[in-house]
Amino acid sequence: MSFDNHEIYNDMEKSSRGGSSVIQKLVASVLFLSIGFAIGNVYKVTKTPETQVNDKSELPIIETVSTKTPKQVATKGEALSIKEIANMNQDSIVEIKIATKATSSYFGTYTTTGSGSGIIISKDGYILTNNHVIEDASDIKIKLHDGTEYDAKVVGSDSKTDVGIIKIEANNLQPVKIGNSDLLSVGDTAVVIGNPLGELGGTVTNGIISALEREMNIEGTKMNLIQTNAAINPGNSGGGMFNSNGELVGIVVAKSSGLSIEGLGFAIPINDVADVINDILELGYVSGRPYLGVELSDTKETKTPYSGGNSIFDFFYGDFDSYTKTSYGAYVKYVEEGSAADEAGIEVDDQIISIDGEMCSSTTDVSNAIAEHEVGDTISIGIVRNKKMLSLKATLKEYTGSNEEKDSKEEQKDKKEKVES
C-alpha cells in the first residue's frame, strides 16, 4: 500500500472552496491509514509465532544439538569460575562400564571389560561418547553422578570420527549446553570432566587450550583435535571438555602418555562432529559414507585349533605348529550379502593387496583407501585367492548401518507396531 502525500495536499487545496468535502476527505484518509496500521499489527502478531514453530520443526530430534553446523555468534557474558563450570556440568557426565562378547580359548571362555565416560545430550537419556569406548560391547552399564545405574543400548557409532551414541531409559536428566568450538583460541580456559582410571567418576581437571587443529593419528585415522594441558587419563575418553562459559566444546578422545610425558590431552571439536551426531540420532548411521561390505582381519589362521582331533592328546602330541601358524595381510573374514564386495565377487579368505593400484598391507590401509572415495565410485581391487592374483571391480555403496543395527531397529519397529495395535 502506498500513499502520495502530494496528491492528498492537492485535494485539500482544491476543496478549500467547498469545506465539507475537505473534511470528508481528511476523515477518510485518517480512517484509511488507521485501518492500514491495524492490519499491519495484526499481521505481526499472527505471523511471528508461526515462523518460530516452523524453525523448531526443522531442528534435529535432540534439541541440545541445535544445528547441523553450529557456527553461532560468540557467547556474551562474564566467564565462570572452575567451581561454577563443575557445578553446571557434573550431573551431565556419566561413567560407562562395558563388557565385550564372550570369546573362547584353550583355557575356557572369558570376557573383557573396559570403562570410559559419556555426555548427556538430552533429558530422555541420549548419551554421547567415543566409538572406541563402546565398540564390540555386549553389555553397557551407565552410572550417573548421583550413583543411579542403568543398562544402555547403542544407538549408533562412527569409527572415522570416533563418535558413538547410547541410550538409557530415563527422564529429567540434565543435558549439557552445546558450545561453539570454532570460537576457541589458544590460551582459553579448558575444563575436563570424566571418569579417569574407570573408578574416579566426576573428576574435574582444568587447564588451557594448548593448540587447535592438531593433526593426530588415532588408530590409523587422521583427526584434527583440540590439544589441552588439563589432566587426562585412561577412562576420560568420551568425557566432556568445556569452555569458560561452561559449554561443551570437545569430546575427550586420546592422551599421549609415557614415563616423561604429562599435560598432553586431546578432544574432538564439537563443531566437527555436529553432522555426525545428528545423522546417528536420526538414522543410526552416518549418511554419505562409501561402503565395500566386508569384515577384514590383519591375520589369517592356517588351521583351526583342534581340527586334527577331538581330544587333548591330539593337541599336545599332534602337529602343534599347525595350530599357531599365521600370516599377515588384509584378509576377508565376512562378505555382506548384496554389498559392493559381494557383487564384485570377493570371497571369504581372499587377501586384499591393493586398491586402485596402491598397495594395502593392512586393514587400516584398505579402510583409508575406501574412505578417500565417494558413494558410487568404482574401484579396482587386487586380491590373492588360492595363490593366484586377481583384479576385481567394485562400485561402492552407501553405508546404511550394520546388520545388528538393522535387526535392532526392526525389533523396535515390531514392538512399536504391537503396542499401537
Q: Helix 5-14 to helix 19-57 angle, to the nearest 10 degrees? A: 160
The neighbouring-strand residues paired with 196 are: none
Residue 350, class by beta-carbon neighbours within 10 Å (0-12 exposed, 13-18 middle, 19+ buried)?
buried
Q: What are the cell numbers at 53?
A: 514453530
**What number of other Cβ atoms are within 10 A of residue 150's Cβ?**
17
Active site residue 132: yes
Catalytic residue, chosen from 115, 122, 132, 158, is 132
The active-site residue, picked from 237, 244, 339, 367, is: 237
**Measured distance CA(274)–CA(279) in Å, rounded:** 9
Q: Is 21 a catalytic residue?
A: no
CB half-sphere exposure, 25, CA atoms < 13 A: 15
Of residues 246, 230, 240, the one with CA closest to residue 193? 240
* Pairwise CA distance, residues 328 & 334, whole Å: 17
Residues constituting the chain: 421
Task: Cell numbers for 37, please give them.
Answer: 496500521
Cβ neighbours of residue 243 under 8 Å, at least 6 residues apart? Answer: 179, 184, 188, 189, 190, 191, 249
For residue 372, report the phi and psi dihedrals to the nearest 5 degrees: -80, -10
Annotated catalytic residue: which of 117, 157, 162, 210? Answer: 162
Measure the CA–CA gap between 182 and 198, rounded to whole angstroms: 30
Euclidean distance between CA atoms 287 and 280, whole angstroms: 9
Closest of 249, 283, 263 to residue 119, by C-alpha: 249
Q: Provide the strand spans (E) within 36-177.
A: 93-100, 103-105, 108-110, 113-120, 126-129, 137-143, 149-158, 163-167
**Catalytic site positions:** 132, 162, 237
